[in-house]
Structure 1
Amino acid sequence: MSTKEYKNWRVVVVCQLNASASKVWHLVGGFYNINQWHPDIPICDVIEKQGEERDIRRKLTFPNQSPTWEELVFMDNENMRYKYKWHKGEWGETTQKYHAQIQVIETELDKRCLVQWSSKFYSSEDGLTQFYKDGFENLINMFGGKLIIN
């Protein structure tokens, strides 16, 4: 029997980047692009035979861990945001009810933007703040900028 106490978590991490929102969204806004900007995810696979929009899923492979599958819930290219949730995999058995959103917000036309990554989940610990920061630190290395909220 586990002695860990589970609770509801809400994580919000924001960074400011020295690039236009459209340029950042071109990279970050692709549901299957996460391995191109997040250093902790070397492989993001497209699940074969996805026919309906509600079935858009990705398989994430992390070093020395079991794969995790996530499902796109909502995509809004005009407002540069998407929502997704855990679909299946060992990770979601311990970090339950995971729902997340990534959004890019233009703050200075063609020069600067904010990226916000937020989530809600049920777990014994916050296993996501550092993961989000790792991704944002890499974006800051790519575009210049700084971490705003963590």
Structure 2
Amino acid sequence: MASTSVSQVVPASPERVWRLIGGFGSLPDWFPAIPECVLVEGGRVRRLRTAEGEVVVERLVSFDEQAGSYAYTFDETPFPVTGYLATLRVHAVPGEKDTAEVQWSGRFVPRGVEDDDVIALFTGIYRDGLDALLKTLSG
């Protein structure tokens, strides 16, 4: 099993950040690489379309409003992995009420490719997403 984690400090309170990213269908609001998200199965499954037109279907497996986190798996993906589990969480920064840290992490089993290649792929996706979040919150 391989894993990666990326974090970003952003200039907004944890509550503000969670309002923006905490909805399972909110990716298009802050991540331009995902321009379309359709929620199905009562909001527990999201069907994403990437900017390149690929389809990714993700299933919500845990959601904690109070802790500011959720976790999801893949139901359908173009990525060469199995056993994927990702978590997006918002943390308070001690002593900084208008600053939050956002962490996006995942673990997975690469399928037919080297671990390092898939780790680099997801590290890049998470980094691009958190960079876009920073830009959204700073703008």
Give the residue type in structure 1 aligned to 2:2: W
Distance 1:100 1:110 in 2: 27
Q: How does 1:1-150 map to 2 (within 5 A)?
A: 8-47=1-40, 50-51=41-42, 56-89=44-77, 91-92=78-79, 94-107=80-93, 108-123=95-110, 124=113, 125-126=117-118, 127-144=121-138
Unaligned runs of 5+ in 1: 1-7, 145-150
How far residue 66 of structure 1 moved from its aligned partner, in angstroms, is 3.1
Distance 1:65 1:97, change over 3 A: farther
Distance 1:57 1:9 in 2: 24
Percent of aligned positions that are identical: 28
**TM-score w.r.t. structure 2 length?**
0.86
**Greater fraction helix:** 2
Aligned residues: 130
| Alignment root-mean-square deviation, CA | 1.6
Q: Deviations over 1:96-145 (max 9, x none)?
A: 1110000000114531110000000112222211111111111111224x
How far residue 39 of structure 1 moved from its aligned partner, in angstroms, is 1.6
Give the residue type in structure 1 aligned to 2:28: N
Give the residue type in structure 2 aligned to 1:118: S
Between the two structures, name the one with larger relative contact order (CA 8 Å, sep ≥ 6): 1
Unaligned runs of 5+ in 2: none
Which of these two proteins has the greater Rg computed from alpha carbons?
1
Which 4+ residue blocks in structure 1 deviate beyond 6 angstroms? none
**TM-score w.r.t. structure 1 length?**
0.80
